[in-house]
Amino acid sequence: MELRKDYFADVRKDGLNEIGQPRPRLDSPGHVTGKTAYFSDRNFPGMLHLKMVRSPHHHARIRSIDTSEAEKHPGVVRVLTAKDVPHNVYTILILIQIGPEDETVLADGKVRWKGEAVVAVLAETERAAQEAAAKVKVDYEVLPAVFDMEEALKPGAPIVNEYHGQNYYLYDSGECRKVRFGDVEAGFAEADHILEQTYQSSPIEHAPTETTGCVVAPEGNDRFTCYTNTQAMFFTLDNASIILQMPGSKLHFVGGTVGGGFGGKVDVIVEPIAILGAKLTGRPVCFIYSREEEMQISSPRAAEKVVIKDGVMKDGRIVARKVTGYTDAGAYSRHSPYGAQKGAAHYPGPYTIPNVWIDTYCVYTNRTPSSAMRGFGVTIGDFALEVQMDKLARLIGMDPLEFRFINAYRDGDMKAHRQPTEGAALIECMQEASRAANWPVAEKFMAMSSYRKGA
Amino acid sequence: MAIRRGRGVAAINYPTGMNLGGDPTQALVHSTPTGNFMVTLSSVDLGQGMKQIMAQICAETIGVPTDRVVIDTADTDTGPHCMGTFASRGTHRAGNAVIQAAREARQVMLEVAAEELEVNASDLETDGQGNILVKGAPQRSISIFDVALSAHFKRGRSISGRGMFLIPRSYPEKETGAMKPSTCYAHACTVAEVEVDDETGEVTVLTVKNVFEIGRALNPKMVEQQLVGGSWMGISHALYETTEPYYPSRDHGGTDFNQYLMPGPGDLAETEIIVLERPSADGPFGAKGPGEMCANPQIPAVANAVFDAVGVRVDTLPITPERILRALKAQAAG
């Protein structure tokens, strides 16, 4: 790595004692010698293992659940179904009034994705829990499922989630989050060229080294300690408090050392049910995802479809940009309504464009609920935007890097979501990339600055 | 049939933090009787090194070496509220809270030292080595060790501080979408160079040159680990990763690391990282959040490089050999 101190030296105070110094990490010796303690290193006498019975169907009505055989299985201590969960229908963002509550802790009457949790089995050993889970009989009536966002948005499509009533999230602004800036149609009318393109991604797994999980121990005084690898301690505690209808003072969460998160450990999935198991049995409980569960059950990054229509002038100026983004939330909201909204604020990218129209939709389908992941709401948008920029440059016969200099935002420029640009540095990054990659651009671009308008 | 070479560029910005329900984090700092400092948080270290960076921020602010600071984090019985580690917010939000708490603690420390040295607190400075000196008369000094002892056992003072950082909630305007979803922005520009085998569709990323502007490199070595890892993840996203290879079909999803593809040691591109620092107005020592941004620009840069190499666009992620071959066939069919 190279620190290029010559850029922005006039606005930076260097020469501090501790800041800017490459101090060795205090936790790295423990990490690399295998001595760091993670949540699953906690082991308590009498600890039970929790295994989930999961839906084999993408969409089905539950006619009946028979747990009698499972309960008789040697080593089984308790079997939990929806009726055991105090507040079974929840949504994590209800903490900040982003409803409706649309997801069940344990399926009640319906499953909406393949892998959805239906019954929790608590047993003395992992093996006993696994064997007993296989003995739970669930009678399903399979329903038509919808996997494609376009299909889901058509009239007459199967309704994925009745708590929403339609296959998209309803914002206060309607069926999508909108950004309107300038007059996009007037911009298209004056453009020399118009280019409309569609981009698509598929779900992506966080693939942390350490799978999602927690270990819960009763403190013996009606309080429960939950050792967890959540990325957000109080967010998880507060959601658990709502689901379990327990005062927060009865809950004690310990964490903070996590073997990789990447956004995959903020869904509050394992903790509430494990605490409930500990409460109902009076014994410690561990619930740790297998690698298979991490891969296919835990939330992935959402698949997205992005449609970008641009109006561009022969001289390289983008005069209008219209973006329609679709986020595949899967069967439940989790964090997706926010991700789609974050996308609306991020388009049209780090460029100053006078006329912008953005619509972002959060769409429900019968698949594993997607949620937050590194670059939430932005990563796939950046892929679409920057491939589109490359296509536009080639369309007008301009160097792709020079084309970006022409449109790059600078201090003071108004963004589409009506925030003035501050602290811009896109131009300097591109100047340095031009040097580092030996990709020469015209001198006038090398003379530009993010500080002010002008050459 | 040939191996074809191409290069592509992408430039991006990235918002620091989230603002859906307001974005708060709090911190507490106190000194032990012998002048070590405890920072109490509920923030989570995901392996990126948050504990280390909070220690350095606290040390710099109080004026002691980093090894005098201990981080106690993520126990909800002791640590004050933190929204969580996501949205590139950890260093920025918690860092600001730690600075505020550390400043308050430092003020008490200087007041006690002033009483011991019989000067005004405003006449004192720290040397960064564990001592407090009279400005302009460095021979008149006292160690922080002795100041802490005095505070605890003689003067009855608590060398401690409370820190709070809050971005108030922003509600998007319904019709225009006017909103303040985040604070300062990090920036990046990546140039990727690839080889594409037009017979097999396989892509080899030869070099990836990343320029990242991150406000301030608080610990350059840790910045490097974050940025190199992110760059790898971006390449992985571009060419390899998905849980649903035939999306929207739900079939053929990988269930382990044999089936869920990612580039291994033999697939690593030659990676160059260049860091620029334009300090943000509201960041701890000017820092912005580089954690998510660093994995984004490689994706379009690689996509554009593939086009530059073989003249076909694959606008669906991941850009697999199968998709490249189908596009080449379609192009040949004209």
Of the residues B276, B288, B312, B320, the best mutation for testing chain A's interface (the one with the most A CB atoms within 10 Å of its CB) is: B276
Cβ within 8 Å, pair B66-A180: no
In which band, very low, low, confident or very high, does the pLDDT at B18 lie, cut at 50, 70 and 90? Answer: confident
Q: Does the CB of B298 have a partner CB in chain A at under 8 Å?
A: no
Instruction: Give yes or no for residue B113 having a pLDDT over 70.
Output: yes
Q: Are A405 and A434 in contact (CB under 8 A)?
A: no
On whether the CB atoms of residues B217 and B276 are closer than 8 A, the answer is no
Q: Most B CBs within 10 Å: which of A321, A429, A435, as the mutation test of the B interface?
A: A429
Tokens encoding A240: 């658990």
| Phi, psi (deg, nearest 5) at residue B239 | -115, -20
Mean pLDDT of A210-224: 97
The whole-number pLDDT of residue B182 equals 84
Cβ atoms within 10 Å of B24's Cβ, excluding its own: 17
Pairing of strands A356-364, A318-330: parallel
Lowest mean pLDDT among A47-51, B128-132, B262-266: B262-266
Q: Is the pLDDT of residue B225 over 80?
A: yes
Instruction: Report the percentage of chain B scoring pLDDT > 70.
Output: 100
Q: Stretch B96-117: mean pLDDT, rounded?
A: 98
Report the residue of chain A nearest B22, measured CA to CA: A96
- The amino acid at residue A293 is E
Distances (CA, A) of B50 to A1, A142, B107, B117: 20, 47, 25, 36
Contact A374 B76 (CB under 8 A): no
Task: Check residue B21 and give its pLDDT.
Answer: 78
Residues of chain A positioned with their CB less than 8 A from the CB of B250: 58, 114, 147, 367
Distance CA A179, CA A14 (A): 40
Distance CA A28, CA A26 (A): 6
The predicted-structure confidence for B131-161, as pLDDT tens digits, reads as follows: 999 999 999 999 999 999 999 999 999 999 9
- H/E element, B300: helix B298-310
In tens, the pLDDT along A335-365 reads: 999 999 999 999 999 999 999 999 999 999 9
Supply the pLDDT for residue B19.
79
What pLDDT is recorded for position A106?
Answer: 98
Q: Do B15 and A21 touch (CB under 8 A)?
A: no
User: What is the predicted pLDDT for the residue at A84?
Assistant: 98
Q: What pLDDT is recorded for position B181?
A: 82
Residue of B nearest to A358 (CA): B177
With 60 as the cut, is the pLDDT of residue A11 above it?
yes
Chain B residues with CB inside 8 Å of A267's CB?
Answer: none
Element (H, E) at B232: helix B220-239
* Cα separation, A416 vs B141, whole angstroms: 55
- Across B41-47, average pLDDT: 97
Strand pairing category for B203-213 and A304-312: unpaired
Can you tell me the distance from the alpha carbon of A430 to that of B334, in angstroms, rounded to the nearest whole number? 36
pLDDT at A453 (0 to 100): 56
Q: Which residues of B179-209 are buried (b: 16+ CB within 10 A; e: fewer)?
A: bbbbbbbbbbbbbbbbbbbbeebebebeebb
**A173 with B175: CB under 8 angstroms?**
yes
Inter-chain contacts counted by CB atoms under 8 A, chains A and B: 417
Residue B170 gets the label, from left (phi > 0), alpha (psi -120 to 50) or beta, of beta
CA A152 to chain centroid:
21
Distance between CA atoms of residues A133 and A222, nearest Å:
29
In contact, B196 and B259? CB cutoff 8 Å: no
Residue A433 has pLDDT above 50, yes or no: yes
| Tens digits of residue pLDDT in A109-152 | 999 999 999 999 999 999 999 999 999 999 999 999 999 999 99
Confidence grade of residue A455 (pLDDT, cut at 50, 70, 90): very low
Residues of B noted as catalytic: 292
pLDDT at A454 over 60: no
Give percent above pLDDT 90 in chain A.
Answer: 98
Mean pLDDT for A322-329 is 98
Per-residue pLDDT averaged across A183-198, rounded? Answer: 98
B11 to A207: CB separation less than 8 angstroms, yes or no: no
- Please give the average per-residue pLDDT across B16-45, as a whole number: 94
**Which 3-state string (H, E, C) describes B125-154?**
EECCCCEEEECCEEEEEEEHHHHHHHHHHH
pLDDT of residue B24: 95
Q: Which residues pair with A318 in a beta bridge?
A: A312
Task: Determine, for residues A436 and B83 on separate chains, whether the beta-carbon distance falls below 8 Å.
Answer: no
